[in-house]
Amino acid sequence: MKTPTVHVTDDPGPVAGRLIREALAARTAHTGRARLGLSGGSSPAPVFEWLRDNLRPELYTSLWVTWVDERHLPVAGGGPAGYDRRSNIRLAYETWLEAAPRNPACILPMVAGGSLDADLEAFRRAFDSEFAGVLDVALLGAGPDGHIASLFPGRPELEDRSAKALAVRTSPKPPPERITLTLPVLEAVDRAVLVAKGAGKADVLARAYAGDESLPLGRYRPQGAWHWVLDSEAASALPAEARETG
């Protein structure tokens, strides 16, 4: 396992936000474009709020945004208000994108309101054509079972090394239908930042840190920099030397 740099803080938004901003700026300076994949759940909300207030306006002209996974839920109409409140895209809009100083150069939703198969095919085409099938930076969360994106322990989606995005039809966590990027896409990034909070995730984080490959998080090996931003409860089961690294 590639050992992450662990940052323990009770205010994860600024710590994770700075790591992401730094990576986006470096990639933009190098290639003129930065492709960011966002997670859902509650953990990224403080990061989104920090980016809303601290990402320089000029970076938006080179920022391309999509999601590492999405819940396949009905879409009621055009614009962010049409997305279900349980969707990952709705969280990002409400805490960041709607109030950003300007729109990113590209926002690529995973779900467009069609069937699961139709939305997956449309996303695959757009991800290849608009993102060249690649992310530069990934913001991740982790479930209490060690899942990342919608890659769950013991599920076949975790083993797929050929596709870039997959349909999840029977997720063990509701809603059952989802679209997720695959492990190879998530690993091929310049920087990955994991944000996790709460004692309920302490044991699984310790297992993943020790290299437990039964967990998707334990199997994850990004090619670039790997950072965990944890609150003190989430970090409580890590070895002392890990908790002292950041």
User: What span, in angstroms and rounded, lies between the C-alpha atoms of 166 and 163?
Assistant: 7
Nearest to 190 by CA among 237, 224, 150: 224
Pick from 15-29, 67-81, 200-214: least confident = 67-81
Q: Span 60-75, mean pLDDT?
A: 97
Q: Copy the structure tokens of residue 160.
A: 């797929």
Give the pLDDT confidence of 176-204 residue by residue, as tens digits.
999 999 999 999 999 999 999 999 999 99
Q: Where are the domains of the chain?
A: 5-243
- Helices in the chain by DSSP H: which ranges? 12-31, 45-54, 88-95, 116-131, 183-187, 202-209, 216-219, 240-243
Q: Copy the structure tokens of residue 80.
A: 């962010």
Question: Which numeric CATH code is attached to 5-243?
Answer: 3.40.50.1360
Give the pLDDT confidence of 226-245 residue by residue, as tens digits.
999 999 999 999 998 886 54
Nearest to 158 by CA among 216, 199, 91, 223: 216
Handedness of CA 67, 73, 75, 76 (dihedral sign): negative
User: Looking at the DSSP assignment, which residues form a beta bridge with residue 35?
Assistant: 64
Give the pLDDT confidence of 103-149 residue by residue, as tens digits.
999 999 999 999 999 999 999 999 999 999 999 999 999 999 999 99
DSSP state of 125: H
